Chain A
Amino acid sequence: MKLKLSQADIDGAEVQLIERVSGEEMKRCYQCGNCSGGCPVAYAMEVPPSQIMRFLQLGMVDEVMGANSMWVCVGCLQCSSRCPQGVSVASVLEGLRQITLRKGTDKTRVADIPARFLEKAPQQAIVCGFRKFVS
């Protein structure tokens, strides 16, 4: 993959929107990888948290929006608590979810969630899932 960098992408409106919604500054991240290291669900993510941050720094919003990472995130806040730079990666992922949901695409109805899943899933996951899918 060859990347063509431009000012328009790096400081683009979409990244600014993500920054505003999440309340986090992308340039604070110095790519130490602590968030990816501790993430309990990173194995299932197409793009691990630290790479999400890097893509957003580069203005590569499509790669981030297209990945399953934001939906896999369980919101345990491990990344936020370990980040040496005080960046809440969980907030960034929540911001991505909010932006996606506001667009009205990729929405799940509560009734569509299988009952069997609700019985088995841990409480944390249900709370987080509800926040993600129905807000």
Chain B
Amino acid sequence: MPRIGVFVCQCGNNIAATVDTKKVAEEMGRLPGVVYTCDYKFMCSSPGQEMLKQAIKENNLDGVIVSACSPHMHEKTFRKASEAAGLNPYRCEITNIREQCSWVHHDRTKAVGTVKSMDLTRMTIQRLKKNRPLDKIRIPVRKRALVIGGGIAGIQAALDIAEGGREVILVEKEPSIGGNMARLSETFPTMDCSQCILTPKMVEAELNENIKLYTYSEVEKVDGYIGNFTVRIRRKSKYVDEERCTGCGECIEKCPFKVESRFELGLAKRKVIYTPFPQSVPNVPVIDAPNCPKIQKDRCGVCALVCGPKCIDFKMEDRIETVEVGAIVVATGYQLMPNARFGEYGYGRIKDVINGMQFERLASSSGPTGGEIRRPSDGKVPDSVVFIQCVGSRDEKKGVSYCSKVCCMYTAKHTMLYHHKVHGGKAYVFYMDIRCAGKRYEEFVRRAIEHDGAMYLRGRVSRVYERDGKVIVQGADTLSASQVEIEADMVVLATAIVSRDGADTLAQRLGIGYDRHRFYNEYHPKLKPVETVTAGIYLAGTCIGPMDIPESVAQGSAAASKVLALFSADEMSREPITALVNKATCNACWDCVTACPYSAIEKDAVKNRQGEIVRRLARVNDGVCQGCGVCVAACRSKSIDLKGYTDEQVFAAINAF
């Protein structure tokens, strides 16, 4: 006969106001198998927990029921207390008589609430009788992390993890780490040079012994689960031996072919063998194979001739590397929305209409103009520049519904940079709202207006067209309720930040969620901002949504701290609520394999002593299984049960009702 104890909580007056807890306790005491009952004001308080522990020991209880609030609140508390008293924690069950009973009844006579509490508790008693003791699952943790994306968020995460003494593999798609931040000229609100604060970090990442840089590489496949991921990485052929290259740059200098530079966003050309920018890390050039005549047609080959250490190999092929890691940080960043969608702004058609990132390159001292603001069409220094905000952002019809968050600030920065570099030049800004929430941000925008003389006009621009070598901007100033026409030399569009091409594919490979804009979903937008629903995979930076540099860096560090916490123990334990396949009845239809959203079910086989397969059956990987129960519903032969929620337990509870 089981020896069950029932503890009914009054929760102050939360439960006691509409439930006669004393009566519930007394009635439950009459049921077979229940040897101890009581009611108490606050079961979750330390005296309450002490009482529970003592009752377990004194009455030699083998099962405990606490009829109190939702198990979300205190299941852990009471299971821990039971464990301390020597009981298997999964022999402790909660009946929710607060959210599901007292709070939804207003009957002060306590009649209804008491009856329902008794019904619910009785069901739990019958259910508890079928509970089997369960043990926490222990999983070994491989203490090496993978960071996808070598922008500022990824670099920060990698550096912090490495600093914590763990190995990191940093995978970057481009030939150099640095990401979008490497393109920026100055950063708001301090106006310090982006390269000057970024490159030391890049170099640090290269020199850190715990960090392995995989540049020009992409993640192809991710298998496994928290603590034990297997990742296949394609290391694209650079055609240059990374080990032997000294980075002298002779090959780049002598290469006779030029193509448009992606890093400079079409504002300049680069050689076919190239590093994206002078401070590239690693400082190893790559050959742009589709544009290289030697690789395509076996003509030229000058780079190999001039290369001192002879490290150029035109026959080099992509390598696939498989690495095993315990945690993954996704920091894939953002890109700008293609402006081709906005025909009325003339982007792509009018040469002097550029986007914000192109303006960054014009203002950057390492950019195509050496930091002089010159318009792309004829190289003239523009006398007036119109900045248009919210191009694509906050535009449900043609763009995206959200605000890109950083444009207000960088546009103010652009007007300042322009004013500093072109004295007497006039900057106009068309804005809808100025959103500058952040430390010293408001002051920054005021400085652009008051000190650097930027003319802010509240309204959108309707049309941009060319007339006599000028760019005519036609818009509105809603504050004066008038139309505005400006003859400008150059127009800068603050285009929307969007997720990277292929962000959805990567999310599917990793098994993490994304929203309709293909930004990755956090586990909880406020309380778990860098976790994902897949345990062991963390997020950082603008792959979650538009954000500025300080926020990206903070998230990189946050993700790193999560990884280090995970790596602090040799193994991790998780709840044993997982699916279990009945080996005797499974008939290998594999419906569960297709149904499982976590790919936790594997096709397994039973072999005889000769190693021949006798029969096939499904096997659940406890490390991956999240206990959702989809396989239980899908199984045709009723061969799968969810531990802690078995059919037997559920039926027992229903029958007791």
Contact = CB atoms under 8 A, between A and B. Distances in A.
Given A30-B432, A33-B460, A84-B460, A38 B397 contact: no
Given A84-B394, A86-B396, A36 B481 contact: yes
Contacts of B399: 84
Interface string B466-483: 000000001111100111
Contacts of A48: 476, 481-483
A39 B485 CA distance: 12
B461 interface: yes
Given A31-B478, A48-B476, A78-B462, A36 B483 contact: yes
A43 B396 CA distance: 28
Nearest to A51: B481
A14 B570 CA distance: 71
B475 A84 contact: no
A37 B475 contact: yes
B11 to A, nearest CB: 41
B478 A36 contact: yes
Contacts of B477: 33
A8 to B, nearest CB: 26
B623 interface: no
A61 interface: no
Interface in A22-63: 30-39, 42-43, 47-48, 50-51
Give the size range of A's interface with the partner: 20 to 34
Contacts, number: 78
B394 A37 contact: no
Interface string A76-88: 0010001111100
Give the size range of B's interface with the partner: 20 to 34
B484 A37 contact: yes
B460 A34 contact: yes
Nearest to B344: A82
A31 B390 CA distance: 13
Given A84-B394, A84-B396, A34 B481 contact: no
B397 A37 contact: no
A37 B398 contact: no
A50 B462 CA distance: 13
B483 A85 contact: no
Contacts of B394: 30, 32, 84
A30 B393 CA distance: 13
Contacts of A35: 462, 476
B395 interface: yes
A91 to B, nearest CB: 15
Interface in B372-422: 390, 394-399
A78 B344 CA distance: 11
B396 A34 contact: no
Contacts of B461: 34, 37
Given A84-B394, A84-B396, A85-B397, A37 B483 contact: yes
Contact of A38 (B396, B398, B463): B463
Contact of B476 (A30, A37, A83): A37
B458 interface: yes
Given A33-B459, A82-B462, A85-B397, A42 B483 contact: yes
Nearest to A47: B481
Contacts of B395: 84
Nearest to B462: A38
Given A32-B432, A37-B483, A86 B397 contact: yes
Contacts of B458: 33
Nearest to B463: A38
B397 A36 contact: no
Contacts of B460: 32-34, 37, 82, 84
B393 to A, nearest CB: 9
Residue from B394, B462, B477, B482 with most neighbouring chain A CB atoms (10 Å): B462
Contact of B483 (A32, A43, A78): A43
Given A85-B396, A86-B396, A38 B432 contact: no
A32 B463 contact: no
Nearest to B393: A84
A27 B446 CA distance: 30
Nearest to B392: A84
B474 A38 contact: yes
A30 B397 CA distance: 13
Contacts of A51: 478, 481
21 contacts: A30-B432, A31-B478, A32-B390, A32-B459, A33-B475, A33-B476, A35-B476, A36-B459, A37-B459, A37-B460, A37-B474, A38-B462, A38-B463, A38-B474, A39-B483, A42-B476, A78-B462, A82-B462, A84-B390, A84-B395, A84-B397
Given A37-B484, A39-B462, 8 more contacts: A32-B390, A37-B474, A43-B483, A48-B481, A48-B483, A50-B476, A83-B397, A84-B398
Q: 5 tightest A-B contacts by CB?
A: A38-B462, A33-B459, A37-B476, A37-B462, A84-B395
